[in-house]
Structure 1
Amino acid sequence: MARFLLVLLAITFILSISSYFCVATDTPATSFIQKTCNETTYTTRCLNTLLPNADRINGNTKKATRLAIMATVTEVQSTSNDIQHYADLLPRRWTHEVESLENCHTDIADSVVGLYTALEETNHLGGGSKDDKESRRLNMENSVKSVVNAIDDCANHLQKSKGGLIVVRRVEEILQPLNELATNAVNLVHHMEF
């Protein structure tokens, strides 16, 4: 009985300490990130991407958006390499799947151009009329959506090539983190203050 009470006391102590640290780390910067990420499609992915940089973002939607786009750039490069590596592992007799994956690799890699265009646009957001700002926002959204479009094209081409279920599922697994980051980046651009 004494052992049980000691364990219970230890657990209570640990929980009280951990809740203290959770409350203590809830700064205005982290609150801003949590509020911002609640406006995205993949909230957990957003939090994992932006919370480590909360102090750097410091309540600035432009900085949050730029960091989300830069994380997407990194993931484009990683995903493109993963798809090419997966294509290299498939037997060459699976011609249609391999060809679809190589096209997918190229489309995903090329989509990074849209991300760089969106990043460049964030440097020119000030000034202009409301219509000018809205036009810039739409241009940025479309530039980031090029990644989502490349992902959709990749999945469609693979299915049209009659890729096996195992191949299709593996490619979907490879594409999922990129899709989440790109979708969140589009959401952040949409809600960014000009």
Structure 2
Amino acid sequence: MECSIPKQFLRLFLIVLAININSSSATKPIASKTSTDFIKASCSYTTYPTLCFTSLASHASFIQTSPKLLAHAALNVTLSTAKSTSAMMFQLSKSLLMKPREAEAMQDCLEELSDSVDELQRSLAEMGQIKSSNFQLTMSDTQTWVSAALTDESTCSDGFDRNTKNGKVVWERILNIAHLTSNALALINMYASLHA
């Protein structure tokens, strides 16, 4: 009898342990899968869905299934990329031997990127002030700032010849920011349309 009690206890312990392991491992992937499915579905409405998903998937636990948090995360990712690209472009402008026309285009581009960063920061600030009483006005302002950032990014890349080594490097970096900005704008528009 003494041997059967520990065996029964051991069996019960193992059963409870197995149930806990199965229930905790089953719950976590479902929640994460739901979030990533939401991001993937939302990104399918953007112009660059693959870039959208890859840039936002790592934020799934923050975004969950919230259109507002999705738009906010897209803006944050875009702003972060714009800042790092601007810093990289500044370093590039100091280290590369450029023709006078390229050097001038680079200076113009740095100014456009600075404006773009400022406009993306303003759009994030606007999104942070959204309330039901000011939703339409705040969203309109946010859309305006993000559209202006996209225009500045496009203007930046216009000054470079894509057939030159320097021009190709700059153009590819700016194009990435412009695509992220376009996606962020699409997700902001989607969020705004839910409250129209």
Normalising by structure 2, what TM-score? 0.75
> Does residue 179 of structure 1 match 2:178?
yes
Amino acid at match of 2:113: I
Q: Answer with 178-187 or 24-33: which moved more.
A: 24-33
Say which of 148, 151, 168 aligns to 2:150. Answer: 148
**2:70 counterpart (50, 56, 64):** 64
Matching residue of 1:167: 166
CA contact (8 A) 2:143 2:188 kept: yes
For structure 1, the 5+ residue unaligned runs are 1-23
Structure 2: stretches of 5+ with no match in the other structure: 1-28
Is 1:106 aligned with 2:123? Answer: no
Q: Does the Cα contact within 8 Å between 1:81 and 1:105 map onto a contact in 2?
A: no
Say whether the 8 Å CA contact 1:111–1:150 is kept in structure 2.
yes
When Rg is computed on C-alpha atoms for both structures, the one with the higher figure is: 2
Matched, 1:51 2:64: no
Q: Which residue of 1 aligns with 2:16?
A: none
Instruction: Determine the C-alpha separation between the residues in 2 that align with 1:91 and 1:33.
Output: 42
Relative distance call for 1:44 and 1:164 in structure 2 (3 A) is: closer
State the Cα distance separating 1:164 from its structure 2 match.
Answer: 6.1
**Residues matched between the structures, number:** 165
Partner in structure 2 of residue 125 of structure 1: 130
2:83 equivalent to 1:77: yes
SS in 2 for 1:124: coil
Structure 1 Cα separation of the partners of residues 186 and 163 of structure 2: 33
Question: Match for residue 21 of structure 2?
Answer: none
Question: Which stretch of structure 1 is more off in the superposition, 97-106 or 79-88?
Answer: 79-88
Q: For structure 1, which segment, 167-176 or 35-44, has the greater mean C-alpha deviation from structure 2 after superposition?
A: 167-176
1:158 maps to which residue?
160
Residue equivalent to 1:188 = 187
* Higher RCO (CA < 8 A, seq sep 6+): 1
Kindly provide the amino acid, as one letter, of the partner of residue 176 in structure 1: L
CA offset digits 1:58-112 (Å, max 9, x no partner): 11111111111111111111111222222223326x1221121022112202321
- For residues 54 and 79 of structure 1, the distance between their equivalents in structure 2, rounded to whole angstroms, comes to 24
Say whether the 8 Å CA contact 2:116–2:153 is kept in structure 1.
no
Aligned residues: CA RMSD:
2.2
Structure 2 distance, partners of 1:43, 1:164, is 27
